[in-house]
Structure 1
């Protein structure tokens, strides 16, 4: 008997249309469609990104303006079998905390990213309680040694809920994300951003949604894919039920992590990896 909750309601043995993309959800769930990634889909790379004037006055001041974006390097994809180092950086959701199967969304995404042309080495660097400031401080020191010897470097970010919980200003949170994105892309590292997820607290959700929109804007200015997880999940019964059933009522179980993985895989993942 197949496990129908391991991938968010998708049978584990269900056929796949292509590498890294799972089948559509059953009709009993909200339909997440791959051709409609939602409000926060990444925009094409801008010809010249303007300075972010909205950083100040959008939740508090910071000591520096959000940087002007002028990339100095581009992500390149080699022909043939590609030696890819992929690192996931974030907090407890990235670490997969609360998943009884120990996979989280990261393990599920990696499992569906196997490809004959991809020699993939993946690392999960999720740390419980991390804010975007923590990620700024550690990502370079922790990631670069793991990329040593790899010809293609990939970074997946999922951070921000702890910014809201700890009262970090919107401006500082935007700046932190922008700094990581700019440092990485200027070094020729391919970046993919997975968005914030809703909670059971309506007031907290309003603040999370505002930060999700801000993160989406930061990514859009840089032509970086931002996967909207908030809007599809805030009205998704299975997600909310999974949170309500969890011991801390804050982290999902295997069904909820399967839902996040589904959204990632269906919203630009294969395009980002140049997989067909």
Structure 2
């Protein structure tokens, strides 16, 4: 597969030696072995859901100590009706979700929505990406902003992509995990289908080490709940076109057209149609 994205604007991730995935459950169908790694132990699958949770150190941002991650016991399921489905889909996150820096103004969200067209799907999509948002900001605003947009829709879907600003702001791993867990649990208990898009690498090696650790933590939080998590970090960390796109961008932090196409490709090829129950 070519390492270019200008042909179809969704990019392509070149095949690599087989690698074990994060503990991401359904996000990695066996036909996509290029998304796995030989690294031992560190990338082993996460354990099944249990009542335990990682230790929760003091939150550097708030000075408080997060409580343990809640035990997940869903009380509702996503309702998928027969015939044409009236779906309200909300994309929630920060600048990467908003598509900042894309000269086409599409970002990965616009590209994914453009390719999520189906005769049985009456899709209404909303992009609620806000530059600078942390997972704490998302916790604070998701309910008030999302529920009015779902009003009248028979099927509610939520796509989350947040966390890089947690690392930049100095938020602890425990607090970031808990924020994500709280949104996932509140949404799924309300019968909202949730899909999580993982963090992407930067040009800063030190920042990348922290982002990779948080990406693994997010994958674990999702795996414990059976929620699809798409690993964007490792496929892009060694991807020449992704790194070149970052280096060429004005702020050297957000990708351009090619980079957003790569994220869209990863989303569309890692459980998207299964999550939407599309054949």
Range into which the TM-score falls when normalised by the shorter chain:
0.7 to 0.9
- In structure 2, what is the equivalent of residue 171 of structure 1? 174
The DSSP-based 3-state class of the residue aligned with 1:3 is coil
Number of matched residues? Answer: 276
Tell me which moved more, 34-43 or 174-183.
34-43
- 1:7 Cα offset (Å): 2.3
- 1:79 Cα offset (Å): 0.6
The 1:108–1:16 alpha-carbon spacing in structure 2 relative to 1, beyond 3 Å, is farther
- Segments of 5+ residues of structure 2 without an aligned counterpart are none
Give a deviation string over 1:86-123, Cα, whole Å, max 9, x none.
Answer: 00000000000000000000000000000000000000
The 1:50–1:249 alpha-carbon spacing in structure 2 relative to 1, beyond 3 Å, is closer
**4+ runs deviating over 4 angstroms:** 1-4, 9-61
Give a deviation string over 1:209-258, Cα, whole Å, max 9, x none.
Answer: 00000000000000000000000000000000000000000000000000
C-alpha root-mean-square deviation of aligned residues, in Å?
Answer: 6.2
Checking the alignment, whether the CA contact within 8 Å between 1:92 and 1:127 is kept in structure 2 is: yes
Tell me which moved more, 74-83 or 26-35.
26-35
Checking the alignment, whether the CA contact within 8 Å between 1:239 and 1:252 is kept in structure 2 is: yes
Checking the alignment, whether the CA contact within 8 Å between 1:45 and 1:221 is kept in structure 2 is: yes
- Segments of 5+ residues of structure 1 without an aligned counterpart are none
Checking the alignment, whether the CA contact within 8 Å between 2:101 and 2:256 is kept in structure 1 is: yes
Checking the alignment, whether the CA contact within 8 Å between 1:2 and 1:12 is kept in structure 2 is: no
The 1:49–1:25 alpha-carbon spacing in structure 2 relative to 1, beyond 3 Å, is closer
The 1:17–1:118 alpha-carbon spacing in structure 2 relative to 1, beyond 3 Å, is farther
Checking the alignment, whether the CA contact within 8 Å between 1:44 and 1:223 is kept in structure 2 is: no
Tell me which moved more, 214-223 or 7-16.
7-16
The DSSP-based 3-state class of the residue aligned with 1:53 is coil
Checking the alignment, whether the CA contact within 8 Å between 1:2 and 1:13 is kept in structure 2 is: no
Give a deviation string over 1:33-68, Cα, whole Å, max 9, x none.
Answer: 999999989979858887888999999972322111
* Structure with more relative contact order (C-alpha pairs < 8 Å, separation 6 or more): 1
Checking the alignment, whether the CA contact within 8 Å between 2:161 and 2:196 is kept in structure 1 is: yes
Checking the alignment, whether the CA contact within 8 Å between 1:86 and 1:122 is kept in structure 2 is: yes
The 1:79–1:129 alpha-carbon spacing in structure 2 relative to 1, beyond 3 Å, is same
Tell me which moved more, 87-96 or 9-18.
9-18
TM-score with structure 1 length normalisation?
0.83
